[in-house]
Amino acid sequence: MSGLETRQAAGFTTVDRAGVLVVTVDRPPANALNRSAIHSLAALFAELGEMREAPPVVLTGQGERFFCAGGDIRELEGAAQEELDARMREFHALLVAMDRYPRPVIGAINGHCVGGGMEIALFADTVLAVQGARFGFPEINHGLLPADKGIQRATRLLGARAARKLLLSGDLFDVERALEIGLVDVLADPAELVDAAVASARLAGAKAPVLYGALKRSLNDPDDARDETSLQRTLGSAAEYFDDPVARGLRDSWNGSRSRGGKG
């Protein structure tokens, strides 16, 4: 990518808003990410990060109900262990690319932000959300686990006690609670959400890039060895739960309920 451009990729669109790149997850009905979309998002952040003048980025979701419902669990129906491993590697790569992105990343949470969607939000520098947004890590109730890197990020940003409660219960919570624990920074009107996020990104982008990037490195403290350990922990856990009968039963039940509800 030699410059910013409007384009349609697998599962998302990008639009240049006068130097701010708005990335919109677009996989109806719930903006759940399949492996192709995860790969493309990771590649986008890696590609942008290599640009001499990398842009501020706004991440949002298409529609009014979902920012991102995490990974598309339908991909795992009848899939082999290798498919889950590949998808977890891709998602880990996305979180690493976001973690190391030197410019502002603003989350514009337009609806439900759960599972992998919440992990993505945790790697934004600033998060704006609408009143009706819901958040949480429901994986434990659906026979899955978040990526270890997302778990570590939640612990660092939200605190060990809050992260423990969210992860071990799988409960969803509202935007007021998200504001209390520091997941969300600003409550925004739905009609003004993206514009407000773009304004926030532009304001942050006006800071000296070399200083902004240095501060992000110190705050995020990226580390190759730690990331590799985190990836191996993610893959090891996935190998344990993939064929576990209880976890598989939870996934099958969740898939069945979604199908009956017309969401999948």
> So which residues are the catalytic ones?
119, 139
Q: Which of 30, 106, 37 is nearest to 65 (CA)?
A: 30
At 128 the three-state DSSP class reads strand
As a whole number of angstroms, the distance between CA 108 and CA 121 comes to: 9
Task: With beta carbons less than 8 A apart as the criterion, state whether 26 and 110 touch.
Answer: no
DSSP 134-189: EEE-GGGGTT----HHHHHHHHHHH-HHHHHHHHHH--EEEHHHHHHHTS--EE--
As a whole number of angstroms, the distance between CA 88 and CA 71 comes to: 10
Q: What is the dihedral of CA 194, 93, 8, 144, to 10 degrees?
A: -80
Give the phi and the psi of residue 115 in degrees, each rounded to 5: 55, -130
As a whole number of angstroms, the distance between CA 154 and CA 225 comes to: 19
Pairing, β 134-136 against β 186-187: unpaired
Tokens at 102, concatenated: 């030197």
Contacts of 196 (CB under 8 A, 6+ apart): 108, 128, 186, 188, 189
Task: With beta carbons less than 8 A apart as the criterion, state whether 115 and 193 touch.
Answer: no
